[in-house]
Structure 1
Amino acid sequence: IAIIGSGDFAELVYLALKNHGVEDIQTFAIEPEHSQKFLGMHVNKVTKTGLRDFDKIFFAEMGSIDNAFSVLEPTVPGNKIVAFTLDGKPVEGK
């Protein structure tokens, strides 16, 4: 599982995934800061090929639906992407 984002909402997504037994989680940012960490983990830069092998990619910014799909769909199948509405509801791509 990949999480794109490193803010408070990304932390909630991370904790929810851990609560459901997901152990293999990596974090990414479109433009990570130098040596950026998220809950002690290194934050990786989103690249065109870096996310293809993940089963699901959570774009963990509320209201990020349009941005998530426009940034990721050229290289990642839409059915792997989960974005969130402004009220935090998940929306999966097609």
Structure 2
Amino acid sequence: MTTSLTIDAQVDVAKYARKTYEGQFYNPLVFTNKVPDGFSFSGTSLNPILLVNCSELVWGAYKRKGGIDLDGETLNTAEFLAVFPWDIEKSANTYTYNP
């Protein structure tokens, strides 16, 4: 899959992702990976700042550095607090190509 961003912009996103997320451990709280850092429930952080999962890494890097939201789900679903691989696949900002 790719996005509508230029190659240079995608390289910038990749550099941002590496700088931001490299060395972080896996975030097992996959159902809250879009919750802003610092929010907690009953003393448990809903999205620990130093933990990340695959979809969160891709979504977060493109949103913060690329300026596009790769979450293809709407806010009216049960998944509004999280982004998953199938959400990125459904995004209007991604498409599949054959090299």
TM-score by length of 2: 0.27
User: Relative contact order: is structure 1 or structure 2 higher (C-alpha 8 Å, sep ≥ 6)?
Assistant: 2
Query: Which is greater in Rg?
Result: 2
TM-score by length of 1: 0.28
Compare the two structures and name the one with the higher strand fraction.
1
Compare the two structures and name the one with the higher helix fraction.
2
